[in-house]
Chain A
Amino acid sequence: MRLYSLVVYVFLYAPIAIIALFSFNAGRHASDFQGFSVQWYGRALNNPFVMDALETSLIVAFITATLASILGTLAAVGLQGLRGPARAIFDALIYIAVMIPGIVIGIATLIALVTVFDVMNPWIENLWGDAEGAPRLSMGRGSLIAAHTMFTMALVIIIVRARLGTLEKSLGEASADLYATPLGTFRQVTLPLIAPAVLAGFLLSFTFSFDDFIIAFFVAGSETTLPIYIFSSIRRGVTPEINAIGTMVMLASLLLLIVAQLILRRGDRK
């Protein structure tokens, strides 16, 4: 049994180790190792395309995670007190958002937004009066953030609601009995108690958005995110540079995970 577990762990980590190993390859060719070098890390960090893609990915992931945790937390709190058909419809939408494959979300958003933009752009030009200088709606960071936020917000609602469900109702009642306003109760009682869940939702949203390839592939327009850059590079052949980028991305995710664990642990102890 122990041996079996060991084999599974090797299976899980060998591919990651191979990428890390080949990122230090001195040679140009990806698959035979010709000596140790860190030159590909330098190349990757000095490649303007990589840096642009990284910047786009970080901005999109940060805005997505911020919006998703705020909107999701508000909705989770609002849904607590809501009953009836509105609640049922909202719940159904959340589950549809989570269940529908990312690829369908991607194509649906693409055709809907492109069609709506095609209708709206002439209107905007008319309103603007000047066809040249009028702002044009197009696929890009905005549509990507909107699509990512929709999906990750649904995740945040599920996570925060699970936490809210475990809270004692009497806490809120006690707070109200002591003349706290609803906002005061939320800020001083509810929010500190659900904070770990909100933070978990934020990190999950950030990681999802940063790693997502398939939705971005459809809705990012002319923008290139890091996963899109990596995918199109692999199509042209795996290089040590891509391995260096992959290793850095995996290390960053690992650090984020460790930091999150530490924060969550501290929150639990309080």
Chain B
Amino acid sequence: MTQRARNWLLIAPSGALLLVMLVLPLSFVFVFSFGERGPSGGYVPAFTLEQYANLPARWTAFKNTLILAPLGTLAALLIAYPLAYQLAVRTSPKWKTLLLVLVIVPFWTSILIRSYAWIYILGGQGIPALLGSIGIENVRLIYTPFAVTIGIIYGYLPLMVFPIYVALDRLDMRLLEASSDLGARPATTFLRVTLPLSVPGVATGCMLVFILLMGEFLIPALLGGGKVFFVGNALVDLFLQSRNWAYGSAVAFTLIVIMLITVTIYMRLIARLQTGREDVAVM
């Protein structure tokens, strides 16, 4: 058997699985999005743009996703960065690994269980009751955009910390010393040396979190209580409750297109930022 034939044989099973379980299903979504809803739900073949014309009916779900996904990503970044910096730059090597593992461990346990814990904390007998006892009455936290944002930060913080940590950990400490030897204040060193060199980590973290958030269902379902819902929640409703497959397919396909466009623009921006900084890095 030639080497070439062997390679083909090795990738054949996974190729077949990708065709049957990825390409075929996604083609169904595309085709169904031009169809019509059957009398008792499901799908009737047709070629119409009606489903796409109806998209504004689910505008709130798209709006919530497109506001809270970037906002949640940004909030997670702002909280993760100082922690990653502390771990990578300021912690002694002896403790580094343990402290990093402690950040990542929660991510390895079910996001479902971790999210519902916030129902306790933000619910009537949690923080609002505590605030009530010091005289701040009638604070409502659960089932608000705030609750969903907290859930997002909580759920995805480990995923944000890790790539930033990796980028900062690789940082050549001599660069920081050189900067301070040349008279730069710590803040200047951070802004002009540390921060630019950690951009790849920040970019990776943001992209991972953003992609996952665009399809989020659990966090808004548990902490948004039907009031704050994402496209993911609309999809569950369309496919499992109202069984409107054609319209649901149009919503799903639109979500994919929006994601592809945002991620492409984002990657272009990051690439430009990187090449713009190349001269600094080479120095």
**Chain B associates with chain A:** yes
Interface positions, chain B 134-175, Cβ under 8 Å from A, are 154, 157-158
Q: Chain B interface (Cβ within 8 Å of chain A)?
A: 3-4, 6-11, 13-15, 17-18, 20-29, 32, 43, 79, 82-83, 86-87, 90, 99, 101-103, 105-106, 108-114, 116-121, 123, 125-126, 154, 157-158, 211-212, 214-215, 217-218, 222, 232, 235-236, 239-240, 245, 248-249, 252, 255-256, 259, 263
Q: Which of B6, B26, B157, B236 contacts A217 (CB 8 A)?
A: B236
Q: A4-B83, A4-B86 are in contact. Are A214 and B217 (CB under 8 A)?
A: yes
- Number of CB contacts from chain A to chain B under 8 A: 212
* Residue of A11, A102, A108, A154 with highest tally of chain B CB at under 10 A: A108
Bound together, the chains give a CA A99 to CA B59 distance in angstroms of 23
**A88 sits at the interface (CB 8 A):** no
A230 to B7, CA, bound (A): 43
Contact A8 B112 (CB under 8 A): no
8 tightest A-B CB contacts, nearest first: A101-B215, A78-B10, A15-B117, A108-B25, A150-B21, A246-B113, A75-B14, A112-B25
Q: Does A177 contact B (CB under 8 A)?
A: no
Per-residue interface assignment for chain A, residues 167 to 192, with 1 indicating a CB less than 8 Å from any chain B CB and 0 otherwise? 00000000000000010000000000
User: Closest CB-CB distance, B90 to chain A, in whole Å?
Assistant: 6
A120 CB–B CB distance under 8 Å: no
**Are A218 and B17 in contact, with the CB atoms below 8 A?**
no
Contacts A31-B126, A71-B17, A231-B112 supplied; 8 other A-B pairs, CB < 8 Å: A16-B114, A107-B29, A108-B29, A111-B29, A111-B239, A150-B18, A182-B3, A230-B112
Contact present for A249 and B110 (CB under 8 Å): yes
A111–B13 contact, CB under 8 A?
no
Closest partner residue, chain A, to B29 (CB atom): A108
A interface list, Cβ under 8 A from B: 1-2, 4-5, 8-9, 11-16, 18-19, 22, 30-32, 71-72, 74-75, 77-82, 90, 93-94, 96-97, 99-105, 107-113, 115, 146-147, 149-150, 153-154, 157, 182, 207, 211, 213-214, 217-218, 227, 230-231, 234, 238, 242, 246, 249-250, 253-254, 257, 261
Chain A residue at smallest Cβ distance from B3: A81
B17 touches A149 (CB 8 A): yes
Contacts of A101 in B (CB 8 A): 211-212, 214-215, 232, 255, 259
Complexed CA–CA distance, A2 and B6 (Å): 55
Assess the B21–A1 pair: CB atoms within 8 A: no
Given contacts A15-B118, A18-B120, A218-B239, A146 and B17 within 8 Å (CB-CB): yes
Is the CB–CB distance between B236 and A182 below 8 Å? Answer: no
* Contact of A2 with B108 in the complex, beta carbons under 8 Å: no
User: Does the CB pair B120–A31 fall under 8 Å?
Assistant: yes
Chain B residues whose C-beta falls within 8 Å of the C-beta of A111 in the assembled complex: 25, 28-29, 32, 43, 239, 245, 249
**B10 contact set on A, CB distance < 8 A:** 74-75, 77-78
- By a CB distance below 8 angstroms, the chain B residues around A218 are 239-240
Instruction: Kindly state the separation between the CA atoms of A242 and B115 in the bound complex, as whole angstroms.
Output: 13
Q: How far is the CB of A224 from chain B (nearest CB, A)?
A: 14
List residues of chain B with CB within 8 A of the CB of A71: 13-14, 17
> Can you list 28 contacts pairing A with B, beta carbon distance less than 8 Å?
A1-B82, A2-B86, A14-B121, A16-B106, A18-B117, A22-B120, A71-B13, A78-B9, A79-B11, A82-B8, A93-B22, A101-B215, A103-B215, A104-B215, A104-B252, A104-B255, A108-B25, A108-B252, A109-B25, A111-B28, A111-B43, A115-B43, A146-B21, A153-B17, A214-B232, A246-B110, A253-B108, A253-B109
